[in-house]
């Protein structure tokens, strides 16, 4: 399977990664190579094999329903380029 | 138990310029899970806190932070599924739904696309006219809520509050079984009622605890039946999804507008485009959310931070065993045990607190009488004061006391209403109030005879008329009851008046 430059551009846009027009062919080639590897893996017969979700036999760890975190407005906002009155201030987004 | 031999409602038919059209509606209801902490973090879920104060670094999407699931949120989803008689999946898994928006700092929402925790179920939805529909539930999955953006605090910026980010949501997806705006509202109302009974979602639409995305399409009469027979969606029209409805009234208006919009396009020879639309309540119209369209490729994939969620059947059985009595069961019990009408049973079971109040009043008393007092006198009075059952000034014992005094013949029905008003406004023990304020019904024939004699003596002209026309005896009865301050037993007065006037 081969990825064209248009698809590569779309993937970059969906991921909000800026890619210069001139760099798209190389990116598309990289995607094509990755997919080629995946296709190679697809040749392995996995009929009847359960997908493996963990390398160690463990179950999903659960927490109790208790408030143990939060109450740290200043820390949460510390890295924000712009924060006012306890909010993150971002460029206007209106539907 | 539940009687499912019901008549189904007629689908809403809209007359277009050329033909008749029918509506087909499916809903995705987003119900905020009642829990102390968020789905994957230990931050509080409390509504209305200082902005960004209920935020853990996981919620803020800080690098390296890992989600750890809150077991109670899982239990709440299971309870909700059980309440909707749904399949509970012992294996479910989380996926990432990728999109960018300022109120979603992770850049993805953790959801359950491929393996939801709850599978197929059903909701029995009654309409006011005695018809009912069994709406099929396709699935319920657990997911994270997004934050909130405020757009009116600054002309150039949106302000983002992440307090809601990461609160657990249940997305309850129905099949396209709903056929009109009223049915859609009745369905959401019933879901909300069931979840309020279960304690899994508070159902507060104003605060956004319950929101619905509404899928609307239109088809020609007969097409829906073809879909039903084959489950083939090609018989139905192209649907549009109206996002984020948080009011029953606006939801109905939006469905109505959207159906008319689609009909106009189709009758003009055009085609409906499948898209996401927003409802504008001020203009009463829906419009396309074009920004969403481009980003509609969510590139779902299994969330690598979370192992699959495996739960034990035994745990599900325990949760099932502890479920409270649900609205349908309670309603039918009220009808059977207390002899209530369907209407009264609906009113009394609408909210679980109302139902338990009524049950305390009805305990050991005539159920129908208790229902009348609770619905007509108590609820009527509470409505006047805009009071809810939680802060109602009359306890079930007090109201029961009033009813007991009528049953024992100590007070008349008319006095009982005065007594109720005293108990409501001043409080106190009804029996003691009756005693201390001399409100007891007079059955003492001597006292009543004296009052009758007095009225007869004072009104000779009326006496003559009554002898010509016996129906006028009622006037004397009224005068006597008035003279005794409403305390005379009307039956006794009737007998004595008839005897004295020799009618």
- pLDDT at position A81 is 95
Does the beta carbon of A56 lie under 8 angstroms from any beta carbon of chain B? no
Distance CA A30, CA A24 (A): 10
Cβ pairs bridging A and B (under 8 Å): 136
Q: A54 to chain B, minimum CA–CA distance in Å?
A: 7
Instruction: Verify whether the Cβ–Cβ distance A71 to B308 is below 8 Å.
Output: no
B 265-304 residues with CB below 8 A of A?
A: 278, 289, 291, 295, 297, 299, 302
Q: A23 to chain B, minimum CA–CA distance in Å?
A: 23
Taking residues A1-12, what's their average pLDDT? Answer: 91
- Give B299's contacts in chain A (Cβ within 8 Å): 14
Neighbours of B305 (CB within 10 A): 14
User: B286, B258 in Cβ contact below 8 A?
Assistant: yes
Does the beta carbon of A55 lie under 8 angstroms from any beta carbon of chain B? no
B 36-55 residues with CB below 8 A of A?
A: 36-37, 41-44, 50-55
Q: Choose the closest CB to A92 out of B41, B56, B157.
A: B157
Q: B105 to chain A, minimum CA–CA distance in Å?
A: 11
Distance CA B68, CA B204 (A): 27
Q: B328 to chain A, minimum CA–CA distance in Å?
A: 30
B45 to chain A: nearest residue by CA? A67
- Nearest alpha carbon to residue B188 among B408, B416, B29, B386: B29
* B171, containing H or E segment: strand B168-174
* Alpha helix positions (H), chain A: 5-14, 24-42, 73-77
User: B25, B216 in Cβ contact below 8 A?
Assistant: yes
In chain B, which stretches have pLDDT less than 50? 1
A83 to chain B: nearest residue by CA? B159
- pLDDT at position B293 is 57
- Nearest alpha carbon to residue B215 among B269, B270, B178: B178
Q: Choose the closest CB to A60 out of B102, B156, B306.
A: B306
A17 to chain B: nearest residue by CA? B100
User: B434, B487 in Cβ contact below 8 A?
Assistant: no
Instruction: Verify whether the Cβ–Cβ distance A76 to B162 is below 8 Å.
Output: yes
pLDDT digits (tens, 9 = 90+) for B21-52: 999 999 999 999 999 999 999 999 999 999 99
User: B149, A89 in Cβ contact below 8 A?
Assistant: no
Strands (E) in B249-357, as ranges, are 276-280, 285-288, 301-302, 309-310
- pLDDT at position B30 is 98
Q: Choose the closest CB to B102 out of A85, A90, A95.
A: A90
> How would residue A58 be classed by pLDDT, with cut points 50, 70 and 90?
confident
> How would residue A95 be classed by pLDDT, with cut points 50, 70 and 90?
low
Does the beta carbon of B74 lie under 8 angstroms from any beta carbon of chain A? yes
Q: Choose the closest CB to A63 out of B69, B149, B297.
A: B69
Instruction: Verify whether the Cβ–Cβ distance B158 to A65 is below 8 Å.
Output: no
Percent of chain B with pLDDT over 90: 76
B73 to chain A: nearest residue by CA? A65
- pLDDT at position B3 is 55
* pLDDT higher than 90, residue A34: yes
B149 to chain A: nearest residue by CA? A93
Instruction: Verify whether the Cβ–Cβ distance A88 to B162 is below 8 Å.
Output: yes
CA dihedral of residues B183, B185, B190, B192 (deg, nearest 10): 160
Instruction: Verify whether the Cβ–Cβ distance B56 to A70 is below 8 Å.
Output: yes
Does the beta carbon of B152 lie under 8 angstroms from any beta carbon of chain A? no
Does the beta carbon of B452 lie under 8 angstroms from any beta carbon of chain A? no
Q: A84 to chain B, minimum CA–CA distance in Å?
A: 8
Neighbours of B272 (CB within 10 A): 18
Q: Choose the closest CB to A53 out of B41, B295, B307.
A: B307
Instruction: Verify whether the Cβ–Cβ distance A84 to B159 is below 8 Å.
Output: yes
Distance CA B475, CA B498 (A): 12
Burial of B436 (0-12, 13-18, 19+ CB in 10 A): exposed
Q: What does pTM read for this prediction? A: 0.87
Long-range contacts for B49-52 (Cβ within 8 Å, ≥24 apart)? B49/B163, B50/A73, B50/A86, B51/A73, B51/A85, B51/A86, B51/A87, B51/B159, B51/B161, B51/B163, B52/A73, B52/A76, B52/A77, B52/A86, B52/A87, B52/A88, B52/B161, B52/B162, B52/B163
Total count of residues recorded for chain A? 95
Instruction: Verify whether the Cβ–Cβ distance B150 to A87 is below 8 Å.
Output: yes
Q: Which of A63, A80, A81, A94 best tests the B interface by mutation, with the highest count of B CBs <10 A?
A: A63
- Nearest alpha carbon to residue B288 among B320, B314, B265: B265
User: B210, B204 in Cβ contact below 8 A?
Assistant: yes
- pLDDT at position B1 is 45
């Amino acid at each position: 399977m081969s990825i064209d430059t248009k698809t590569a551009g779309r993937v970059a846009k969906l991921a909000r990664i800026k890619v210069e027009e001139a760099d798209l062919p190389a990116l598309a080639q990289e995607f094509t190579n990755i997919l080629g590897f995946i296709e190679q893996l697809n040749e392995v017969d996995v009929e009847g094999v359960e997908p493996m979700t963990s390398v160690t036999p463990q179950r999903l760890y659960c927490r109790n329903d208790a408030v143990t975190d939060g109450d740290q407005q200043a820390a949460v906002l510390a890295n924000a380029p712009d924060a006012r009155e306890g909010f993150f201030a971002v460029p206007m987004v209106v539907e | 138990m539940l009687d499912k031999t019901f008549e189904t409602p007629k689908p809403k038919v809209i007359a277009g310029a050329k033909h008749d059209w029918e509506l087909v509606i499916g809903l995705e209801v987003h119900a905020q899970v009642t829990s102390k902490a968020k789905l994957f973090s230990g931050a509080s879920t409390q509504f209305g806190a200082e902005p960004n104060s209920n935020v853990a670094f996981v919620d803020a999407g800080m690098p390296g932070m890992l989600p750890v699931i809150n077991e109670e949120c899982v239990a709440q989803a299971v309870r909700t599924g059980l309440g909707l008689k749904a399949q509970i999946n012992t294996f479910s898994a989380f996926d990432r739904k990728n999109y960018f928006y300022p109120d979603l700092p992770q850049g993805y929402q953790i959801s359950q696309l491929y393996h939801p925790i709850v599978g197929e179920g059903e909701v029995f939805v009654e309409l006011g006219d005695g018809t009912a529909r069994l709406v099929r539930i396709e699935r319920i999955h657990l997911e994270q809520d997004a934050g909130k953006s405020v757009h009116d605090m600054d002309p150039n910026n949106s302000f983002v509050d992440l307090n809601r980010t990461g609160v657990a949501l249940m997305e309850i997806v129905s099949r396209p079984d709903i056929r009109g705006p009223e049915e859609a509202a009745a369905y959401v109302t019933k879901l909300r009622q069931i979840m309020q009974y279960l304690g899994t979602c508070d159902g507060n639409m104003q605060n956004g605890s319950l929101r619905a995305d509404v899928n609307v399409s239109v088809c020609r009469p007969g097409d829906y039946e073809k879909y039903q027979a084959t489950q083939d969606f090609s018989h139905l029209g192209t649907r549009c999804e109206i996002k984020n409805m948080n009011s029953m009234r606006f939801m109905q208006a939006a469905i109505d507008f959207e159906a008319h919009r689609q009909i106009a396009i189709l009758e003009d020879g055009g085609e409906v485009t499948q898209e996401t639309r927003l409802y504008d309540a001020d203009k009463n119209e829906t419009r396309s959310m074009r920004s969403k369209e481009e980003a509609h490729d969510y590139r779902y994939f299994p969330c690598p931070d979370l192992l699959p969620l495996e739960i034990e059947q035994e745990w599900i059985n325990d949760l099932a065993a502890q479920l409270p009595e649900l609205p349908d069961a309670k309603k039918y019990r009220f009808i059977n045990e207390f002899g209530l009408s369907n209407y009264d049973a609906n009113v009394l079971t609408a909210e679980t607190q109302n139902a338990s109040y009524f049950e305390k009043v009805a305990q050991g008393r005539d159920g129908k009488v208790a229902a009348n007092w609770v619905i007509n006198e108590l609820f009527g009075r509470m409505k006047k004061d805009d009071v809810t059952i939680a802060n109602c000034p009359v306890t079930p014992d007090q109201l029961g006391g009033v009813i007991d005094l009528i049953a024992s013949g100590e007070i008349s029905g008319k006095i009982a209403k005065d007594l109720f008003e005293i108990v409501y406004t001043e409080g106190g023990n009804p029996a003691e109030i009756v005693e201390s304020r001399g409100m007891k019904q007079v059955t003492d024939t001597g006292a009543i005879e004296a009052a009758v004699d007095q009225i007869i003596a004072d009104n000779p002209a009326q006496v003559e008329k009554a002898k010509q026309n016996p129906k006028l005896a009622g006037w004397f009865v009224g005068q006597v009851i008035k003279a005794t301050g409403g305390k005379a037993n009307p039956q006794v007065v009737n007998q004595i008046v008839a005897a004295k006037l020799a009618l």
